[in-house]
Amino acid sequence: MTSTTSELDGTRGRVTVRTWANDDPAYLVALAHGLGEHTGRYEHVAAHLVANGAEVIAPDHWGHGRSEGEPGNVDDMDSIVEDFATAVDQAQERHVGVPLVVLGHSLGGIVATRYVQTHPGRADALVLSGPVIGGNDLLLSLADLEEIPDIPIDPTFLSRDPAVGEAYAADPLVYHGPLHRATIETIKASVATIAAGDDFGDLPTLWLHGELDPLAPLAEANRAFEHMAGSALMAKVYPGAMHEIFNETNQAEVLTDVTAFIGETLGR
């Protein structure tokens, strides 16, 4: 299964969208990736979903991957969410009436959550993987410093499989620089906006998290879900797992849990 890329006119410039096509999909998956990375890291996730009947679309966020913008700088969450919504609209125009599953990992969990909050009724299901919707107290405290230290994301935080970190470190489309102050401030503001907004209500939601996730700590995520949990939330924590559960040593289990949830939710 190979993907194709196209471009859309985003709110601030050119945004690259990756598509794993299906001529007759049973459902659409709109995937929002994490901070500093890009959609090309989700080939195996998309292949699993397409084999289960999906078409998968995923925009590289502004400032990420092959999209325009300052690399790794997330200074406007609303524009990223609207670019994501435009990509969803284009996919739904191709496949009218096909159910929509929104999937967000890490920072993409913020994007996915803000999408369902600002576009109510559009999604039929929501999947969140290590979402940063509760923030990261240590990371967000950096915004209070006069000078932010030059601390890029540590590849060893991603998975128990060292090959994942090695591939991440060698990937030229991954942003390997330090965190931008604007990124930290935007995440902090987005966490507050999510907390002040509507919960997930009756939207079927699957929340998956690594027990030892150092980038989206489980304690902060739990704090967010105390407010966000609606009437149709399912949650699972993977013992010993780190941040990128789709790239973890038990990734087959995680992917099976996702498609099982989708099958139950959509009646497939």
Active site residues: 106, 213, 243
Query: What is the distance between the alpha carbons of residues 82 and 199, in angstroms, rounded to a whole number?
Result: 20
Q: How many angstroms separate the CA atoms of 197 and 116, rounded?
A: 11
- Cβ-contact 130, 213 below 8 angstroms: yes
E strand intervals along the chain: 4-9, 14-20, 27-32, 54-59, 100-105, 125-129, 205-210, 233-238
Pairing relationship of beta strands 100-105 and 54-59 according to DSSP bridges: unpaired
How many CB atoms are closer than 10 A to CB 141?
12
At position 230, the amino acid (one-letter code) is G
